[in-house]
């Protein structure tokens, strides 16, 4: 059956109700479009594990604290639709801003302590905006499973916390980072990189990958410093932060224990901000 492109909540509800009457399981892959191989891996897994798959394609304004970032975010809906259909999803949900926010969303979520560090500390309101749109999508689709990439690892933990708080029935499934052949974590923002910055960007994952010997021998602070130094050695890149945290709680890690440390970085590459993470 060909994929159907839907742009209203009412139509999506009607279509899903018919599938639920037949006992079909439903998977959701929430995206902001500009789809790449990382998104494709989420969609493939959803198609494997569910009878019906909804891919949402919506650039959510409430999670942008920088207006120019929202304005410049890549939008490739027609190309996205072709990929989603090729991968076997059932529905592409591509609503307007007015459709998702007919009135301002004034809800404030309690996301502490997960939103008080790293991205949460540096992008005020970002994760509250994520919680607003993801909760809307989960309540609309009521999926058995919803799929999120681990590149946005902090977001993944926050969505899981929000789902517990709201008592939503969906299982949140984290999926591994997909990387380019040169190691760069796939991101829609990669489309915005200048040639110079794109050439330099693999230094981020290389610095993360190469930090383990220092972490094991010299400890957390030395490893964080090495990661920062290795990335900053590339003139096109500037480290915003390097943090070492517990992968379950995001609490800072001060002493290394294998399997209980994860490095998180944010890096400015020209006008584009990139994030990545690595578990040790």
Rounded CA gap, 66 and 74, in Å? 15
pLDDT over 90 (residue 1): no
Mean pLDDT, range 199-217, rounded to an integer:
98
- How high is the pLDDT of residue 77? 96
Q: With a threshold of 0.75, does the pTM exceed it? A: yes
pLDDT over 90 (residue 278): yes
Q: At what angle do helices 9-21 and 126-141 cross, to 10 degrees?
A: 50
Per the CB < 8 A criterion, the answer to whether 29 and 46 are in contact is: yes
What confidence tens digit (pLDDT) does each residue in 38-80 have?
A: 999 999 999 999 999 999 999 999 999 889 999 999 999 999 9
Catalytic residue among 19, 24, 36, 39: 39
Q: Verify whether residue 39 is a known catalytic residue.
A: yes
Mean pLDDT, range 182-189, rounded to an integer:
96
Cα of 127 vs its chain's centroid, Å:
11
How high is the mean pLDDT of the chain?
97
């Amino acid at each position: 059956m060909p994929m159907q492109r839907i742009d209203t909540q009412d139509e999506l509800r009607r279509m899903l109700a018919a599938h639920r009457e037949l006992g079909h399981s439903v998977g959701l892959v929430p995206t902001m479009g500009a789809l790449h191989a990382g998104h494709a891996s989420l969609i493939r897994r959803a198609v494997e594990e569910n009878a019906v798959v909804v891919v949402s394609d919506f650039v959510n304004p409430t999670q942008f604290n920088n207006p120019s970032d929202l304005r410049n975010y890549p939008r490739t809906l027609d190309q996205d639709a072709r990929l989603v259909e090729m991968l076997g999803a059932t529905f592409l949900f591509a609503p307007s801003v007015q459709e998702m926010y007919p009135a301002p969303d004034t809800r404030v979520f309690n996301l502490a302590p997960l939103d008080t560090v790293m991205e949460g500390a540096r992008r005020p309101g970002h994760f509250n905006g994520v919680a607003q749109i993801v909760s809307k999508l989960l309540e609309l689709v009521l999926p058995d499973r919803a799929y999120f990439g681990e590149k946005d690892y902090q977001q993944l933990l926050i969505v899981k916390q929000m789902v517990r708080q709201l008592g939503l029935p969906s299982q949140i499934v984290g999926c591994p980072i997909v990387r380019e052949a040169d190691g760069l974590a796939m991101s829609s923002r990669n489309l915005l990189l200048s040639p110079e910055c794109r050439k330099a960007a693999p230094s981020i994952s290389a610095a993360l990958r190469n930090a383990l010997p220092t972490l094991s021998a010299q400890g957390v602070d030395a490893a964080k410093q090495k990661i920062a130094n290795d990335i900053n050695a590339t003139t096109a890149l500037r480290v915003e932060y390097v943090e070492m945290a517990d992968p379950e709680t995001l609490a800072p890690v001060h002493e290394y224990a294998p399997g209980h440390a994860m490095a998180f970085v944010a890096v400015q590459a020209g006008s584009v901000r990139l994030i990545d993470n690595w578990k040790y």
